A and B are shown apart, each in its own frame.
Chain A
Amino acid sequence: MNYWPLLGVAVIVIGFLLRFNPVLVVVTAAISSALLAGFTVPALLALLGKSFVSSRMLLIFVLTLPVIGLLERAGLREHAQRWIGRLHGLTLARLLIGYLLLRQLLAMLGLTGVAGPAQTVRPLLAPMGEAAAEKILPTLDDADRDELRAVAAATDNIGRFFGEDVFIALGAVLLVQGFYAQHGIELTPLSIALWALPTAIAAFIIQSVRVWLYQRRLQRRAASARTEAAG
């Protein structure tokens, strides 16, 4: 067994820790791992080039940028904020937990591509969330906005991940079933999918509680800011 290619993992960890430019770190890790595995330079270049162009679908989100850019220039964020500001019952926690539930249910139906960071979080969920947070704490600074957007993106991810495993015709369940079938254990996809339900429910509860705690933290800060202003 050749253990040397593991040094590529070390390059990643050290490079990220020392805060070198991540693009440079990743390419360096790939090159060192492949060289230590005994690839020649021409073979390494071909592997790198082929792997890169085979992953092009990961940049498809840039196609949403012209739409987002145009709408944001025309006041999309301002409108979302004014609208959420007028809806009194819609708190930050209700918005995010409602989105989480919707995202999980859609993923359970196999509709994972419908929502996502580019499709729904940046144009809709993030500005609405910012507006709902401003209702609690009007003095949101840039770091608060960053955190809020990160919470919105995390909610989107968790909803998707812990919904899609309950859907029988999607990658994860079929991969599990296929692995067992290859090794002589016959299972129906439904029996595998059903056992993803307990974790799906746990994930919903855990993320909902964390969103609610996040909202309470904002409320406490707002309360202490008010007492300071009053005192």
Chain B
Amino acid sequence: MLRIEYAYWLIAAFLLYTGLRNLRERHGWHAAFWLVLGTLFGSGDYVLAQQAAGQILPAQIAGAGVIMLALLAPRLRRHAHVESNSAEQRLQSAIRLGHKLFVPALLIPLVTLLVALFGAHLFIAGHAVFATPQMTLTGLALACLVALFAAAHVAQAPMHDGVAEGRRLLDAIGWAALLPLLLAALGEVFTQSGVGAAIAALAGTFLPTGSAFACLLAFALGMVLFTVIMGNAFAAFPVMMAGIGLPLLIHQHGAHPAILGSMGMLCGYCGTLLTPMAADFNLVPAALLELRNPYGVIRTQVWSALWILAITFMLMWLLLFR
């Protein structure tokens, strides 16, 4: 059965390879960074299994590893990667191969789609081929392997050339690759430390509850602000609903529950467009596209988010209290 853990081991192997190549090229800080990260990835399942069994020492060592990564990160230089083929060589190759170059690139979404749609119905000798948790991501990992085979075939290059090219891209991305994970971990630490509860308590003391408009405004802006801080509208929703939505808007002012729930969540989504805490949407693309400003994607999203928020708020005000 294909599980998401196999994808993590694959990532670990790639990270360790990147570390070893840097070691051989005598880039000590880069090597240490990728080797520590690769070790964290390879041992992640063990850490979680031990934690579930009540043994927290592995998790503590992993925590120390995370702190080590934070200390190593400022030592890494981010640089655009140097092309291994000249522009002229690439153009010649592009003319020779033509549309065939698109096939492996399209295989990544296509295989992912097939696994997402039909993965649950795939059995070999009575055993499910894909494990249910994270099936789409497992499909994405499989798609990357299939696409690498195809790319090696199309480009008539050995597969390890692909791994070497991938490593050069990863070195160019550098520590930015790590931010999404760290921000997700930070969200978890914030929740455990009671940051959300403290903010909800603060808001409750200042609100004029008699005005439906003031309550709605506090609810919508609270959804945005909370999402910006937590990086996730799903985390903001229960807090804002329990604090303002349910007691004040629905019970006191008679708001329509389905509209409030649906559009309230969408206000949170506008917050997601604005925050580096939603790293997988805002920082990963910036790193992957090699933008020099890690917040470049957020900057272009600001006005879209504010306009969508304004329209959604207006719709709520018009529809909620009919």
Residue ranges of A at the interface with B (Cβ–Cβ < 8 Å): 1-3, 5-6, 8-9, 12, 16, 20-24, 26-31, 33-34, 36-37, 39, 42, 44-80, 82-83, 111-115, 117-124, 126, 142, 146-147, 149-154, 156-158, 161-162, 165, 171-173, 175-177, 179-180, 183, 185, 187, 191-196, 198-199, 202-203, 206-207, 210
Q: What distance in Å separates the Cβ of B12 from its nearest Cβ neighbour in chain A?
A: 9
Known: A6-B199, A26-B179, A77-B90. 12 other contacts (CB 8 A): A48-B67, A52-B40, A63-B141, A70-B161, A119-B140, A121-B289, A122-B288, A123-B105, A149-B291, A156-B285, A206-B308, A210-B303
Q: What distance in Å separates the Cβ of B80 from its nearest Cβ neighbour in chain A?
A: 9
Segment at the A interface, from B20-28, B123-131, B210-218, B263-271: B263-271
Selected contact of B182 from candidates A26, A42, A73, A152, CB within 8 Å = A26
Q: Do residues B113 and A111 form an inter-chain contact, with CB atoms below 8 A?
A: yes
Q: Do residues B60 and A206 form an inter-chain contact, with CB atoms below 8 A?
A: no
The residues of A that contact B195 with a CB separation of less than 8 Å are 5-6, 8-9, 33
Q: Do residues B266 and A165 form an inter-chain contact, with CB atoms below 8 A?
A: yes
Selected contact of B273 from candidates A21, A56, A161, A180, CB within 8 Å = A161
How far apart are the CA atoms of A80 and B164 in the complex, in Å? 23
Q: A67-B151, A196-B266, A206-B308 are in contact. Are A37 and B193 (CB under 8 A)?
A: yes
Q: What distance in Å separates the Cβ of B296 from its nearest Cβ neighbour in chain A?
A: 4
Selected contact of B70 from candidates A27, A36, A44, A206, CB within 8 Å = A27
Selected contact of A2 from candidates B91, B112, B170, B194, CB within 8 Å = B194
The residues of A that contact B293 with a CB separation of less than 8 Å are 146
Closest to B151 in A: A70
Judged by a CB distance under 8 angstroms, whether B258 is at the interface is: yes
How far apart are the CA atoms of A152 and B264 in the complex, in Å? 26
Q: Do residues A157 and B60 form an inter-chain contact, with CB atoms below 8 A?
A: no
Residue ranges of B at the interface with A (Cβ–Cβ < 8 Å): 4, 7-8, 10-11, 14-15, 40-41, 43-44, 47-48, 51, 56, 58-67, 69-71, 73-74, 83-85, 87, 90-95, 97-99, 101-102, 104-106, 108-109, 112-113, 116-117, 134, 136-137, 139-141, 144-145, 147-148, 151-152, 154-155, 157, 159, 161-170, 175-186, 188-190, 192-195, 197-199, 201-202, 229, 233-234, 237-238, 241, 246, 250, 257-259, 261-263, 265-266, 269, 272-273, 276, 279-282, 284-286, 288-289, 291-294, 296-297, 299-301, 303-304, 307-308, 311-312, 315
The residues of A that contact B40 with a CB separation of less than 8 Å are 52-53
Q: Do residues A21 and B296 form an inter-chain contact, with CB atoms below 8 A?
A: no
